[in-house]
Amino acid sequence: MFRNMLAAAALAAITLSATACNTVQGVGDDIKSVGRAGERAID
């Protein structure tokens, strides 16, 4: 259940941040930051 909630939160963050950035590099940075946040949440 926790994984499902984490996945939903990550998807929402990616969706919101993807609409906010203007470049492909910006999308990559946003995805990296979501991954780091997920790792911190798991630890």
21 Rama class: left (phi>0) / alpha (psi -120 to 50) / beta:
beta
d(CA 12, CA 9): 5
Domain segments of the chain as ranges = 2-42
Q: Say what the pTM is.
A: 0.42
Q: What pLDDT, on the 0 to 100 scale, is given for residue 23?
A: 65
Which residue ranges of the chain lie beneath pLDDT 50? none
Amino acid at 16: L
